Homo-oligomer: A and B are copies of this chain.
Amino acid sequence: MIAATDPAVAAAARERIDQLTKPRGSLGRIEALAVQLCAIAGGLPAHNFERRAILVAAGDHGVAAGGVSAYPPEVTAQMVGGFLAGTAAIGAFARAVRAEVFVANFGVRVPLAAHDRLIDVNVGLGTANLALEPAIARDAVDAVLAAGEAAYATLRARAAFDVLALGDMGIGNTTSAAAIVAAFTGSPAASVAGRGTGIDDAGLARKIAAIDAALARCSDFGWDEIASEMGGFEIVGLAGVMLAAARERVPIVLDGFIVAAAALIAADIEPNVRDYFIAAHRSQEIGHAVALEALHLEPLLDLDLRLGEASGAALALPLVEAAARMVREMKTFAEAGVATEGT
């Protein structure tokens, strides 16, 4: 069970923030973030969230064979190599925000060499093609979710962290994510399917057709049906990671579109998980705004990113620390001896 955060704790945090030496509300979104961090902690956080981990969930997608991506499927494994070597964007960003990058392999098509920051919980060498059949066998969905929970436990054993940023890697996975968002929100495929890594018009048409085919197979639109029909291994795995992190009351910084699709699955399983979500940014990918709205989340950043890899989530981590330091370290008007408004 995931505990809902306590509105009374949030109200107390709000009251404290209103007494700090600044005009009320003048730190805008950072104030709201600080309130959420207090609510998650059940009071003033005990730390500034300087211990931060980034987990990138990787998996391959059968639908990638259907010409829905600008890149060939072997790029998933190649990019994972770059994440672990520190030569990809998330490596550069992680160093900029003083975080460590871990990769959870939920289903890359090829076996990956062991690495101390690779958590290998592979549940299959790529999903099936969602345009033709369920991406994940219905009776395997629970195991993928459990693999996510196991990945979280392994991460816990390997790294000390107070906040967790989540990202994704998987050629073809914007097709899965768009199908998931369409299924949960009732949006037409065309309104949530974007150009991903940069496909052309014909590729986009194939993507929409694939999503429509998967949607047509759904009947009850519960999370397990949607996870099975749409996949992917890394998306369902991420939902499991989220549930495990929220049970430990760890704030979860969501990257972009794919992670938002995973968040919709997690929220369908345990709605209280949403109290632990921090939306890092608004992606260029058109379906992301739809997913964020369904999750009732307002993103912190709007930098026209559309990479994935937790790149946007990484950039939001300093804002989490800033919010925590604001509420923990600033003095009130009374404490600082500063004259107040209206005196």
Interface residues of A (CB under 8 A from B): 20-30, 48, 70-72, 74-75, 78-79, 81-82, 85-89, 91-93, 95-97, 197-198, 284, 300-307, 311, 314-315, 318-319, 321-322, 324-326, 328-331, 335-343
Contacts and interface: CB of A to CB of B under 8 A. Distances in A.
A20 B86 CA distance: 13
Which 9 residue pairs are nearest across A and B when measured between Cβ atoms? A28-B304, A92-B325, A96-B322, A87-B331, A26-B307, A29-B303, A23-B197, A96-B321, A78-B338
A303 B326 CA distance: 15
A28 B330 contact: no
Contacts of A301: 301
B305 A28 contact: yes
A89 B326 contact: yes
A311 B87 contact: no
Nearest to A301: B301
Given A23-B198, A329-B87, A336 B82 contact: yes
B198 A341 contact: yes
A26 B79 contact: no
A336 B343 CA distance: 62
A226 to B, nearest CB: 27
Given A23-B198, A92-B329, A329-B87, A339 B75 contact: yes
Contacts of A82: 21, 331, 336, 338
Nearest to A77: B338
Nearest to A319: B315
